[in-house]
Amino acid sequence: MSSPAQTSARPAAVAGSFYPADPAALREEIARCFAEARPSTPGPAGRPPKMLVVPHAGTVYSGPVAGSAYATLAAAAGRTALRRVVPLGPAHRVPVLGLAAPAAARFDTPLGPIRIDPDAVAQVAELPQVVRSDRAHEWEHSLELQLPFLQQLLGEHFQLVPLVVGDATPDEVAEVLERLWGGDETLIVVSTDLSHFEAYESARLHDRDTVERMLAGDATLDPHDACGAHALNGALPVARRHGLRPRLLDLRNSGDTAGDRRRVVGYAALAFDLPPDGPEEASADEVQRAAESDSAAGSPSLGRAALAVARNAIAAALGEPLVDEPPHPALDQPGACFVTLHTADGELRGCIGRLEPEGTLRAQLSANARAAAFRDPRFPPLQRHEWAGMAVEVSLLGPLSGIDAPPGGMTEAEAAAALRPGVDGVVLSWRGHQGTFLPQVWEQLPEPAGFLSALKRKAGLAPDFWAPDVRLQRYTVHHHETRV
């Protein structure tokens, strides 16, 4: 692939909104973030981490947590060896297929310019999953928020290889990282926030679970867990193959840093260190387990395959063009799912599913997609003119499990206390009445009491009804979404 001439600069896009635009005020803000960071220590033998996971909200919200990550560099005597930083962040503004590297020669911030490493960018631009796109970077804040911290710590003595990660498989991200991995001169930074706009306690539970999965090297994260999931799902297996040791530095949310706990966003800081005696290659069994984990319900590759099947089932019925359906072994295994449709304006347009597997996942996706489009009793059948802009969401369900009740049954207060807001899909059953809410419903009904009342209404019961023999079951969901 030929390389565009590098003559342009990417100016700061969110200075003055996400962080101060005045250089003196910005340095003071970064110093505040470090002062409010969790106490930190360098990695083994005083070396800086090889990889960091860092949030990217405005500094008033996530700055102290980002400070906890970058403080590991400040505490490391070896940071002077760093000459190249590779930040990866999600595509918030511009759809990207694969990964996007810039054509610009430098990124500017109020603290000055940062040069792009042209040789490194050219090296990865040879890969088919990498495009050169200044447009993808123009308004992307997930990478820009990292730059003032790096400038404060490393000065002018480093180059940048910024990558916006869009719809990319773990293997595609991993291949890029392997090319850029290098040695002590290279730092990898994965930019991600965690849960978005959940109630405070729900977010704490959700984010703790996500962090535990990251620490375990679980490469099946969903954008619902972390907006940088696609980058993480590629980076975590590479970190494991290179023997990096993860440690949690900080875990907070905007309710902890900015005060409002009604709807919060989660933030984590993690460091991945080389052991004192150098890299430890993962065993063959560990590499195999990492590869097999991509078949789990939350994997991006399964999400893309499931969405294509569901989308095509509706498109075929409408006489609209079909998309390629990526193969995935899980499609031909038993699976339970829901398919949900939303209009271009975000209004619900249909939702049908099954709680337990019946036939293959592929068959369930097709059947539920057609039912959501044409047989949801709440809506008229979908018309062809409505298809453009429709959002198709696939929810892949985990197994059902009962919520234990004491002898004699549960009170409604006990039932509400047993629920995990933002995590549980819930089935309520009573003498022929049944209703379920997917975990996504917690976004509209964040309080367990209100959630239960609405669920009873859906099951055909009065909102204030309760009986000791009401049965509750829970399940988890990985959901994936695309827009036509």
List pLDDT tens digits, range 207-241. Answer: 988 998 898 888 889 998 999 999 999 999 999 99
Task: Give residues with Cβ within 8 angstroms of 474, minimum separation 6.
Answer: 400, 401, 403, 419, 420, 424, 425, 426, 427
Better pLDDT: 79 or 24: 24
Q: Confirm if 122 and 108 have CB atoms less than 8 A apart.
A: no
Question: What integer pLDDT is reported at residue 297 of this predicted model?
Answer: 53
Do residue 393 and residue 405 come from a single domain? no
pTM above 0.85, yes or no: no
| Extended strands (E) in 18-109 | 51-54, 84-90, 99-101, 106-109
What average pLDDT does the segment 193-205 reach? 91
SS3 category, 382 = coil
Tokens linked to 347? 């209004």
The DSSP symbol for 263 reads S
Q: Is the pLDDT of residue 278 over 90?
A: no
Do residue 220 and residue 355 come from a single domain? no
Do residue 291 and residue 360 come from a single domain? no
What average pLDDT does the segment 265-272 reach? 96
What average pLDDT does the segment 448-476 reach? 94
- pLDDT band (50, 70, 90) for residue 293: very low
Please identify, among 265, 295, 325, the residue that sits at the C-terminal boundary of a domain.
Answer: 295
Task: Quote the CA–CA distance of 174 and 232 in Å, as a whole number.
Answer: 10
Q: Is the pLDDT of residue 299 over 70?
A: no
Percentage, residues of the chain above pLDDT 90: 68
Do residue 311 and residue 239 come from a single domain? no
Question: What integer pLDDT is reported at residue 41 of this predicted model?
Answer: 66
Question: What integer pLDDT is reported at residue 110 of this predicted model?
Answer: 97
- pLDDT band (50, 70, 90) for residue 440: confident
Question: What integer pLDDT is reported at residue 408 of this predicted model?
Answer: 83
- pLDDT band (50, 70, 90) for residue 281: very low
CATH code at position 30: 3.40.830.10
Do residue 55 and residue 112 come from a single domain? yes
Question: What integer pLDDT is reported at residue 373 of this predicted model?
Answer: 96
Do residue 226 and residue 306 come from a single domain? no
**Structural domain harbouring 161:** 9-295
Max mean pLDDT among 137-146, 216-225, 266-275, 475-484 falls in 137-146
Q: Establish if 484 belongs to a structural domain.
A: no
Q: Establish if 207 belongs to a structural domain.
A: yes
CATH code at position 393: 3.30.700.20
SS3 category, 154 = helix
